[in-house]
């Protein structure tokens, strides 16, 4: 082999090595290293649910989205604990079928109410997991029950607004004179109240303790029993007590005046109107002070005259044998069961 052949062989070898190195360099960036999705095991109602963290991260505003997103939920804020196998155990009273329906929200965006599960239970579970409960996220075969739950949610929001704008100002008005409870009558916007000053339909005490608010909107809201129950729960959550909501007659205008035995009797027209009664008194369970009148007793005593012990410390106080049984605090005499103490 001559020098030309040696250079050709060396060039071919270098060329082949260079091509291989370039191939490796070009192929390296095209390799995507994908870490496998983290799987979680959730135990609810003694049932294991294995799912990926990715489905929860798609809904970061929900409770599960916050739980499995880094640093968005403080430890111990929910009742979830890890067991010895690294599984998350929910101690809340949530059934497995309901939780399966909750997981469907993360995968498909729709929660189908499971058979045999009430919408009230499903709504409470949605509230716990911070999932919106509305017509877009929840489906149910019983449409009437669905409308009932949606109306309950709407009623709560509506009464919260009415409480702030209409009722609280009346509570402040009552508290300004030292009252700690209120009876509030809800009148319509078109109601006309015309009481005779000389012959009012209510006593002065009743008039002083009665407050009125004019709002057809609140009156229309309170005509439904379900709405009144929702309103009562809102008031309970706000700390009020002795809460009553209902409908009763309220006098509006004078109808006629009758004379009976020289006295005038006035008749009034009544309309059915809603009322709210509640209290914010803190000491209602404490016994109120009662003054008892001391009355001199007229009863006579058959006991012998009491000896003045101040003048005669050694005097004997003798009770006749026939009166022993009638003295207060002394048990009837029984000679068979007598214990003498010397």
The widest CA-to-CA distance across the chain, in whole angstroms, is 159
Cβ burial, residue 103 (10 Å; 0-12/13-18/19+): middle
Question: In the beta sheet, which residues pair with residue 244?
Answer: 277
CA distance 191 to 272: 11
With bands split at pLDDT 50, 70 and 90, how would you rate the model's confidence at 164?
A: very high
What is the reported pLDDT for 322? 57
What is the reported pLDDT for 49? 92
Task: List pLDDT tens digits, range 67-79.
Answer: 887 554 455 555 5
Question: In the beta sheet, which residues pair with residue 279?
Answer: 181, 241
Query: Between β-strands 181-187 and 210-214, what pairing exists: parallel, antiparallel or unpaired?
Result: parallel
The pLDDT mean for the chain works out to: 77
What is the reported pLDDT for 168? 95
> 186 in helix, strand or coil?
strand
Task: List pLDDT tens digits, range 79-135.
Answer: 567 788 888 888 888 999 999 999 999 999 999 999 889 999 999 999 999 999 999
What is the reported pLDDT for 69? 73
With bands split at pLDDT 50, 70 and 90, how would you rate the model's confidence at 301?
A: low
CA distance 129 to 135: 17
Q: How many CB atoms lie within 10 A of CB 98?
A: 20
Class of domain 39-141: alpha beta
Task: Give the residue carrying structure tokens 């369970």.
Answer: 285
For residue 144, is pLDDT > 50?
Answer: yes
For residue 175, is pLDDT > 60?
Answer: yes
Task: List pLDDT tens digits, range 193-232.
Answer: 888 788 888 877 777 788 999 999 999 999 999 999 999 9
Give the whole-number percent of the chain exceeding pLDDT 70.
68
Q: What is the mean pLDDT of residues 252-278?
A: 83
With bands split at pLDDT 50, 70 and 90, how would you rate the model's confidence at 146?
A: very high
**Calculated CA dihedral for residues 312, 316, 317, 320, nearest 10 degrees:** -150
CA 113 to chain centre: 24
What is the reported pLDDT for 201? 83
Residue 17 parent element (H or E): helix 3-27
Q: What is the C-alpha radius of gyration for the chain, rounded to an integer number of angstroms?
A: 42
Cβ burial, residue 263 (10 Å; 0-12/13-18/19+): exposed
CA distance 319 to 305: 10
Question: Any idea where the domains of the chain sit in the sequence?
Answer: 39-141, 157-279
């Amino acid at each position: 082999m001559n020098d030309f052949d040696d250079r050709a062989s060396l060039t071919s070898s270098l060329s082949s090595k260079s091509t291989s190195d370039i191939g490796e360099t070009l192929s390296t960036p095209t390799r995507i290293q994908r870490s496998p999705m983290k799987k979680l095991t959730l135990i609810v109602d003694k049932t294991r649910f294995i799912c990926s963290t990715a489905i929860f991260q798609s809904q970061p505003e929900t409770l599960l989205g916050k739980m499995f997103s880094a640093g968005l939920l403080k430890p111990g804020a929910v009742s979830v604990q890890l067991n010895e196998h690294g599984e998350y155990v929910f101690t809340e009273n949530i059934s497995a079928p309901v939780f399966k329906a909750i997981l469907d929200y993360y995968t498909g965006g729709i929660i189908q109410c499971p058979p045999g599960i009430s919408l009230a239970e499903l709504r409470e579970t949605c509230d716990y997991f911070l999932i919106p409960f509305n017509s877009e996220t929840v489906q149910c075969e019983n449409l009437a029950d669905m409308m009932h739950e949606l109306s309950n949610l709407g009623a709560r929001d509506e009464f919260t607004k009415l409480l702030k704008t209409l009722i609280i100002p009346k509570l402040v008005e009552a508290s300004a004179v030292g009252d700690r409870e209120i009876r509030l009558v809800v009148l319509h916007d078109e109601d006309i109240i015309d009481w005779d000053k000389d012959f009012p339909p209510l006593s002065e005490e009743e008039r002083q303790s009665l407050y009125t608010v004019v709002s057809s909107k609140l009156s229309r809201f309170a005509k439904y029993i379900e709405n009144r129950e929702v309103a009562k729960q809102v008031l309970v959550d706000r700390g009020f007590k002795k809460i009553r909501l209902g409908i009763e007659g309220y006098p509006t205008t004078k109808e006629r005046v009758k004379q009976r035995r020289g006295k005038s009797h006035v008749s009034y027209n009544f309309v059915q109107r809603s009322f709210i009664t509640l209290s914010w008194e803190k000491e209602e369970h404490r016994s109120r002070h009662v003054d008892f009148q001391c009355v001199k007793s007229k009863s006579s005593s058959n006991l012998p005259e009491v000896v003045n012990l101040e003048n005669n410390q050694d005097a004997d106080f003798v009770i006749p044998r026939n009166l022993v049984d009638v003295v207060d605090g002394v048990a009837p005499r029984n000679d068979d069961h007598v214990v003498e103490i010397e």
